[in-house]
Amino acid sequence: MIQTGFFTHEIQLRRLDQLGDSLKEVGEAIDFEMFRPSLASLLGVHTGVVGRKPLDQVFMFKILVLQVIRGLSDEALEFHLNDSASAQRFIGRSPHDTMPDSTSIWLFRDKLAAARVTRSDDGTDSPGEEIDGVRALFDVFHQQLADKGLLCREGKTVDAMIVEVPRQRNSRKENESIKNGEVPDAWKGQPRKLAQKDTDARWTKKRNVTYFGYKDSVVGGITDCFVHDYVVSAAQHHDSQIVPEAYYQAAGEDPVAFGDSAYGGPDIAERLRGNGITPLIHEKGTRGHPLTDLQIEMNHLKSKIRVKIEHRFGRMSMCIKRLELRCIGIVRARAEIGMINLVHNIMEYGRLKRTPSVAV
- 5-37 pLDDT, tens per residue? 556 778 888 888 888 888 999 999 999 999 999
- Whether the model pTM is above 0.75: yes
SS3 category, 104: helix
What is the reported pLDDT for 127? Answer: 54
pLDDT tier, 1 (very low <50, low <70, confident <90, very high otherwise): low
Of 311, 320, 317, nearest to 351 by C-alpha is 311
Helices (H), 201-292: 266-274
Q: List Cβ neighbours of 5 (8 Å cut-off, separation of 6 or more).
A: 11
If you average pLDDT over residues 117-121, what whole number do you get? 74
Cα of 266 vs its chain's centroid, Å: 29
What's the pLDDT tens digit per position in 64-95? Answer: 999 999 999 999 999 999 999 999 999 999 88
> CA-CA distance, 204 to 210, in Å (whole number)?
6
Of 343, 322, 337, 130, nearest to 214 by C-alpha is 337
Q: What's the chain's average pLDDT? A: 88
What's the pLDDT tens digit per position in 305-339? Answer: 998 888 888 888 887 777 778 889 999 999 999 99
Q: Which domains does the chain have, with CATH numbers?
A: 8-45+53-114 (no CATH), 153-165+201-353 (3.30.420.10)
> CA-CA distance, 194 to 184, in Å (whole number)?
10
Of 147, 334, 141, 303, nearest to 227 by C-alpha is 141
With 60 as the cut, is the pLDDT of residue 123 above it? no
Judging by DSSP bridges, how do beta strands 129-132 and 116-119 pair with one another?
A: antiparallel
The continuous run of DSSP H or E covering 101 comes out as: none
Q: Which residue type does 95 have?
A: P
Q: What is the largest CA-CA distance in the chain?
A: 78
